[in-house]
Amino acid sequence: MLKIDNLHANVGDTPILDGLSLSVGAGEIHAIMGPNGAGKSTLAYVLGGRPGYEVTAGSVTFAGQDLLALEPHERAAAGLFLGFQYPVEIPGVSNVQFLREALNAQRRVRGQEPLSGGEFLKLAREKAGLLKLDMDMLKRNVNVGFSGGEKKRAEMVHMGILDPRLAVLDETDSGLDIDALRIVGEGINAIMRQPDKGVLLITHYQRLLDYVRPDFVHVLSKGRIVETGDATLALRLEEKGYEEVSV
Reported confidence tier of residue 94, pLDDT bands at 50, 70, 90: very high
Establish if 51 belongs to a structural domain. Answer: yes
Q: How confident is the model at residue 85 (pLDDT cuts 50, 70, 90)?
A: confident
Report the CATH number at residue 193: 3.40.50.300
For residue range 39-75, list pLDDT tens digits in order.
999 999 999 999 999 999 999 999 999 999 999 999 9
Residue 184 within any structural domain of the chain: yes
Range of the domain at 203: 2-240
Spatial CA neighbour of 237 closest among 220, 212, 224: 220
pLDDT digits (tens, 9 = 90+) for 6-40: 999 999 999 999 999 999 999 999 999 999 889 99
Q: What is the mean pLDDT of the chain?
A: 93
* Residue at 216 is within a domain: yes
Average pLDDT over residues 196-220: 94
Helices and strands (DSSP H and E) totals, the chain? 8, 12
- How many structural domains does the chain have? 1
Assigned domain for 245 exists: no
Q: Is residue 246 part of a domain?
A: no
Structural domain includes residue 247: no
Please list the helix, strand and coil fractions of the chain in percent, rounded to the nearest 5, in that order: 40, 30, 30
